[in-house]
Amino acid sequence: MSNNRRVTIILISVLFGTGLSFLVFKLKRGGAELTGNDEFTLWTNFGFSILIILSVGFLFLWRKKKGL
């Protein structure tokens, strides 16, 4: 599998998870507008998801190059 395909699959899965979180927040609010705290939580979850996935991915690439 190529690296571009892996990145695409990862981004789609993170966006899908963020979309599901958005729907849960909307259902929790009864369809009303999200509060500032809700939006902050969604952006934080999205940011940390990308950060963790990229960190683990680069760790695996580094270990592969080192032959560990």
Ranges under pLDDT 70 in the chain: 1, 68
Looking at residue 68, its pLDDT comes to 63
Residues 57, 63: Cα–Cα separation, whole Å: 10
Residues 44, 22: Cα–Cα separation, whole Å: 12
Looking at residue 38, its pLDDT comes to 85
Looking at residue 54, its pLDDT comes to 83
Instruction: Check if the beta carbon of residue 17 is closer than 8 Å to that of residue 49.
Output: yes
- Residue count (the chain): 68
**pTM, full prediction:** 0.68
Local structure of 2: helix, strand or coil: coil
